[in-house]
Amino acid sequence: MSDPARPSDPAATSEFLVEFAVHIPEGTSTSEIQQRQSAEAEAAADLARQGQLRRVWTRSGPPGDTRILGLYRATNKAELAALLTELPLHDWMTVTVTPLGHHPNDPETAIGDTGWQTLPNPRLRLVYRLEATIAPPLDLGQTPQGHRRIVPLTGGTFTGPALNGRLLPEASADWQAVLPDGTALGDIRYALETDGGDLLYVQSRGVRHGSPDVLARLGRGEDVDPHEYTFRTATQIETASPDLDWLNKGIFISVGGRQTAGVTYETYLVG
């Protein structure tokens, strides 16, 4: 029997249309309004990154009111209510939730004029963000596969909607092959331990590429904005934990960012 406190399979989600009517209390200072609106924007961006907020619209409402419509994904209404309660503007909101169900004419699943049934659009949901520290690379030099380097991952922590814990440095490194143009092909293998004591084995195969100038700066160990280059991996996760068995069955991709003293990976479940 699974522990009810453990996270459920994040792939098993439903969609909800949520309407917010925002009522700013009379006498509220401009600075508080701006602070809350800024925090609300950051919270929305975080929910979007996790795959729980899909779309946002505005519509006309009574004078003085702002009406917002949001398309949310959550495992159930209880999970949705919990994340809505955490919104910075929640105590200024009147919230109406409409659960959404499947319709046979939905363009995402309906059979079109070709007679083919359309396939579901893939969706991404954040599983965890890993912030890892690294040691100087072990440089093996030029091999038939390229300039071979091994970069030890020396520690770090990961956080996410369903998983939190630490990286185990004794079983974690990036086995790289660097091509003549500076492109790095990664074979990244690391072990994670969740706060609940479960062990995860993660293997990612990926590529980091960009302009010659950007790759040269990365090669020198400089901090470079991750938007200036592409760092993507195909990721597999293994675990013996029955409560996390959904990880064994998932398809994952990761987005990476290299810093002077470390590396960041955001790993997403493809739904």
Structural domain tally of the chain? 2
Domain that holds residue 32: 14-100
- pLDDT tens-digit series, residues 41-94: 989 888 887 788 989 998 876 666 668 899 998 888 888 999 999 999 999 888
| Distance of alpha carbon 51 from alpha carbon 74, whole angstroms | 9
Q: Which of 65, 85, 100 is the last residue of a domain?
A: 100
Is residue 83 helix, strand or coil? Answer: helix
pTM above 0.85, yes or no: no
pLDDT digits (tens, 9 = 90+) for 206-258: 999 999 999 888 888 888 999 999 999 999 999 999 999 999 999 999 999 99
The contacts of residue 261 (CB under 8 Å, 6+ apart) are 133, 134
One domain for residues 149 and 250? yes
* CATH number of the domain residue 162 falls in: 2.40.160.20
pLDDT for residue 150: 94
* Mean per-residue pLDDT over the chain, rounded: 87
> Is the Cβ–Cβ distance between 153 and 132 less than 8 Å?
yes
